[in-house]
Chains A and B, each alone.
Chain A
């Protein structure tokens, strides 16, 4: 199908909708933060990588599908989400719920059977945290929703680590914390840009409740905290010079971006392009940081 402007738009199909329910673009980053820690933890076999990757995709995909089921009442109100399979009427809500639960159940079995029980338990904990703690409890009740909710997205490194070592330790906890403290500056950059959407849907995001200036201030402090936190594993021998330099450079760039938003907001100038830049760079930041971790341990 083509639009008058010439852009190609794909025909909707059940297969495409099922894939869309899993939010594949988001999962690609989750998978990277699952697989890179496996190379930090040791030298995983190809089968462990494969099963952890498949199990991780299905578990995160299941959580995303159940999230779309639970948020079906507000997805219709936001431009960003109203083309999803449920609000657009292409799929029945119950079918989406059944799909999400089915693939999460399959993921639990796959991980427990082919990897280990701890890996399955951690992945399932991430699913429950995302569905019940974040989506059902925090998302619509507090402006700190994505602060605590960030823990849901921080489970993948624990899953990857446990797949290789069969345990969780201080180093893996740091990988969890990196994602936990990366989440506020990342999501609040988007929340600043989508304030009207979130306001319309009644989701109490920080910019809507606290105001832009307070949110930007907190983004800055979270970015500084993240910078300090990413350096700390070097002090007890987990990483070396390559990672240290990478963490400082990437953290410095992210900090500069957030500082730019703050400066522009303080001057009363438009910070929208700067916020987009921070949102996009924060995705690259996390990906490159985790790649740097894996490289540092093996070269």
Chain B
């Protein structure tokens, strides 16, 4: 049975995105509770947001790669169907 790849893709992306948002939320909460100086808070925020932005870029590239993979799979299936006796 073939894997339901689109469902796996979107479920995983949703899980990753929600977790990342919750990490940022938790970091902001922790920074406020730690009562760090304003300048330090800016740096801490940068440390948290940089990996999040990079991850979003990777997810966008992954979506593209998954789409290309699905199209390739379709083309192969069609080629096999037409070359069958």
Query: Which chain A residues have a beta carbon within 8 Å of chain B's beta carbons?
Result: 142-144, 147-148, 170, 173-174, 177, 180, 206, 209-211, 214, 217-218, 221-222, 224-225, 227-229, 231-232, 234-237, 240-241, 244
Partner of B3, one of A142, A222, A234: A234
Could you tell me if A218 and B27 are in contact, using CB atoms closer than 8 angstroms?
yes
Chain B residue nearest to A180 (CB atoms) is B51
Scan B42-53; emit 1 where CB is below 8 A from any A CB, else 0. 011001101100
A79 to chain B, nearest CB (A): 26
B39 to chain A, nearest CB (A): 12
A214 to chain B, nearest CB (A): 5
- Is B81's beta carbon under 8 Å from chain A? no
B75 to chain A, nearest CB (A): 13
Query: Which chain B residues have a beta carbon within 8 Å of chain A's beta carbons?
Result: 3, 5, 8-9, 11-16, 18-20, 22-23, 26-27, 29-30, 33-34, 43-44, 47-48, 50-51, 55, 58, 61-62, 65-66, 68-69
Residue picked from B13, B19, B29, B50, most chain A C-beta under 10 Å? B19
Could you tell me if B19 and A222 are in contact, using CB atoms closer than 8 angstroms?
yes
In the docked arrangement, what's the CA distance between A228 and B10, Å? 10
Chain B residue nearest to A233 (CB atoms) is B62
- Could you list some 20 contacts between A and B, CB below 8 A? A144-B27, A144-B48, A147-B48, A170-B62, A209-B30, A210-B33, A210-B34, A211-B33, A218-B23, A218-B27, A221-B23, A225-B23, A227-B15, A228-B16, A232-B12, A234-B8, A235-B12, A235-B65, A236-B68, A241-B3
Could you tell me if B19 and A142 are in contact, using CB atoms closer than 8 angstroms?
no
Could you tell me if B29 and A224 are in contact, using CB atoms closer than 8 angstroms?
no
In the docked arrangement, what's the CA distance between A218 and B48, Å? 12
Which residues of chain A are near B26, meaning CB under 8 Å? 214, 217-218, 221
In the docked arrangement, what's the CA distance between A193 and B50, Å? 28
Residue picked from B8, B14, B61, most chain A C-beta under 10 Å? B8
Known contacts A170-B61, A227-B15, A228-B12, A209 near B34 by CB under 8 Å? yes
Could you tell me if B58 and A177 are in contact, using CB atoms closer than 8 angstroms?
yes
In the docked arrangement, what's the CA distance between A174 and B58, Å? 9
B29 to chain A, nearest CB (A): 7
Could you tell me if B16 and A229 are in contact, using CB atoms closer than 8 angstroms?
yes
Chain B residue nearest to A218 (CB atoms) is B26
Chain A residue nearest to B67 (CB atoms) is A236
Which residues of chain A are near B66, meaning CB under 8 Å? 235-236
A205 to chain B, nearest CB (A): 12
Which residues of chain B are near A144, meaning CB under 8 Å? 27, 44, 47-48
Chain B residue nearest to A206 (CB atoms) is B30
B22 to chain A, nearest CB (A): 5
In the docked arrangement, what's the CA distance between A144 and B61, Å? 26
Which residues of chain B are near A147, meaning CB under 8 Å? 47-48, 51
